[in-house]
A and B are shown apart, each in its own frame.
Chain A
């Protein structure tokens, strides 16, 4: 499924370089030109404040995709650390870490994120905090599961006997066995983060205007549903395509890993 990786790379490139390709400034307000249909100067038309939709979409990639990347990476780091503490630290540490994980998992992730972001006041910072705090648990479970089996391996016992620091043991002896599975989890969480960011943006708890995040754009578009329905299509389409690409890449990765596992 090489085409999937290409698609994902395109998305990543757009997220990074999109703003440079954008024909117009996404925040410039131009009331006389508001709500223009696609064509001419604005390939996809303009929104209620006269801003070019295509440019906003391209800049929005940075928010919807870039933030998702940051959030999922933070979750990866935190979750892996906790999972490794559970695997390396003995029964008590394991129990505490796992009960903490269960407690955080007791809340449907989005609802918790809505509450956190809402209560702390809508901003990019609280968005990152909310999604990170609700997004580390899956990594922890996977890291712990694999970590426990690694803990019994001869070379790990040898490393402990030799007096290697837990950090070094984690880095050299645990991480290589963890990374394949963690990467698969990460792709899934990345997709969830994109959906989470855009949903929170749509509900008003996420990235605030005038930042052109895709979910927030949909919130704007909803108001003008009757007059310019087309506006609603583009941001959602962007979300769908990115999430789809990442999901497919994750599936391909999982299949490739399963093949590798079968060979060894």
Chain B
């Protein structure tokens, strides 16, 4: 098991290094003169050539690719994310502030989605094929087809504009989080319902289960000891994908509801061509993603002893 963990850890490190390289390379090759963008953001139009040259040297654009890459990566590994090229502030504190808006929303949306999908899936699988089951599947199928940005706008239209019950923009109070959480939670609920349902049905189909029933084992015990662990495997595996979906949805939702989280942080940084900030967010997202998937991979392997060492 230790060997497997070490192997996965090594893979994660390789992947993160590749991710850092890709992020840096992309921004290195961005069209347009980055020094000009920085200069304009700082000083406005009509910047003299001397200032441009100064910025170029200061920002490290004069160095070769690898020198600049290392100059960015080395401090990064010690936690120094550099400074915003637009306003000179340290990136990390602003990043943390943004995270403080995003993470709670993400967790609440995930919890909301789970709270809806789990009971729904359980009820639906009570009688597979019934109109309740079919209805749940239909609803879930439609749900995954609905783009988060559309749903968000519709919710704003209904609850904020027409009914005036809930605020549409900002993140000041908890009430402001209701609509965003509903938007994201809906998508999570839709996809989780389908997956949990099929996981349960598949777990129920295990060939050795009828033997238990014949021997008189209670249905509840069977469910707890044999169906649930088996069903948990695909659900856990898919949580990694759900995370991706969540991260993507957060970007959109924060933009729509004007919340100052990681999503808006990223989008605004891109528009302002504030590359240090963009790099920081992208790398952060990658780290979160890789770490979470690593954890899920480990849980998956410990849950299902049949999985062998090589790339699953």
CB distance from B9 to the nearest CB of A (A): 13
Interface residue B244 (Cβ < 8 Å from any Cβ of A) = yes
A254, B273: Cα distance in complex, Å: 43
Q: Which residue of chain A has the shortest Cβ distance to B289 in the bound complex?
A: A106
Given contacts A119-B27, A225-B153, contact A244 B141 (CB under 8 A): yes
Distance between B36 CB and nearest chain A CB, rounded to angstroms? 14
Nearest B residue to A219 via CB reads B149
CA distance in complex: A203, B153 (Å): 13
- Cβ-neighbour of A114 out of B141, B156, B251, B286 (below 8 A): B251
A232 near B142 with CB under 8 A, answer no
The stretch of B10-18, B57-65, B84-92, B126-134 in contact with A is B10-18
User: Which of the 9-residue segments A7-15, A74-82, A95-103 touches chain B?
Assistant: A95-103
Given known pairs A106-B19, A121-B32, the reply for A111 and B285 (CB within 8 Å) is: yes
Cα of A110 to Cα of B145 in the assembled complex, Å = 16
Do residues A226 and B161 form an inter-chain contact, with CB atoms below 8 A? yes
A195 touches B147 (CB 8 A): yes
B107 at the interface (CB under 8 A from A): no
B196 at the interface (CB under 8 A from A): no
Instruction: Report the separation of the CA atoms of residues A202 and B153 in the bound assembly, to the nearest whole angstrom.
Output: 11
Q: Which chain A residue lies CB-closest to B157?
A: A229
Interface membership of chain B positions 66-85, coded 1 if the CB is closer than 8 angstroms to chain A and 0 otherwise: 00000000000000000000
Task: Choose among B153, B267, B286 the residue that contacts A106 (Cβ–Cβ < 8 A).
Answer: B286
Q: Which of A103, A116, A120, A236 has the most CB of B within 10 A?
A: A103
Contacts of A225 in B (CB 8 A): 153, 156-157, 161
Q: Which residues of A contact B153 (CB under 8 A)?
A: 218, 222, 225, 232, 236
> A64-97: which residues lie under 8 A (CB-CB) from chain B?
none
Whether the pair A106, B16 counts as a contact (CB closer than 8 A) is yes
In the bound complex, what is the Cα–Cα distance between A239 and B32 (angstroms)? 34
Q: Which of B267-301 contact A (CB under 8 A)?
A: 267, 270-271, 273, 278, 282, 285-286, 289-290
Quick one: given A121-B32, A199-B147, A203-B255, are A111 and B19 in contact (CB under 8 Å)? no
Q: Which of A96-141 contact B (CB under 8 A)?
A: 98-100, 102-104, 106-112, 114-116, 118-121
- Interface assignment of B311: CB less than 8 Å from any CB of chain A: yes
Which residues of chain A are near B244, meaning CB under 8 Å? 108-109
* B120 in the interface (beta carbon within 8 A): no
Is A98 a contact of B311 with CB atoms below 8 Å?
A: yes
* A187-226 with Cβ < 8 A to chain B: 191, 195, 198-199, 202-203, 205, 215, 218, 222, 225-226
Question: Interface readout for B244-255 with A: 1 if CB under 8 Å, 0 if not?
Answer: 100110011001
Q: Does A243 contact B (CB under 8 A)?
A: yes
The minimal Cβ–Cβ distance linking A97 to chain B, given in whole angstroms, is: 11
Nearest opposing residue in chain B for A243, CB measure:
B145
- Are B252 and A99 closer than 8 Å at their CB atoms? no
Are B266 and A114 within 8 A (Cβ)? Answer: yes
A203–B252 touching, CB < 8 Å: yes
A110 to B267, CA, bound (A): 12
B103 near A: Cβ within 8 Å? no
Contact A100 B266 (CB under 8 A): no
Could you pull out 24 A-B pairs where Cβ atoms are within 8 angstroms?
A: A99-B15, A103-B14, A103-B19, A103-B22, A106-B19, A107-B19, A107-B286, A109-B244, A110-B251, A111-B285, A115-B270, A119-B273, A121-B31, A198-B147, A198-B149, A226-B161, A232-B154, A235-B150, A240-B145, A243-B144, A244-B142, A244-B145, A247-B141, A251-B141
Given A106-B18, A244-B141, A247-B145, 5 extra CB contacts under 8 A: A99-B15, A102-B14, A199-B148, A199-B149, A247-B144
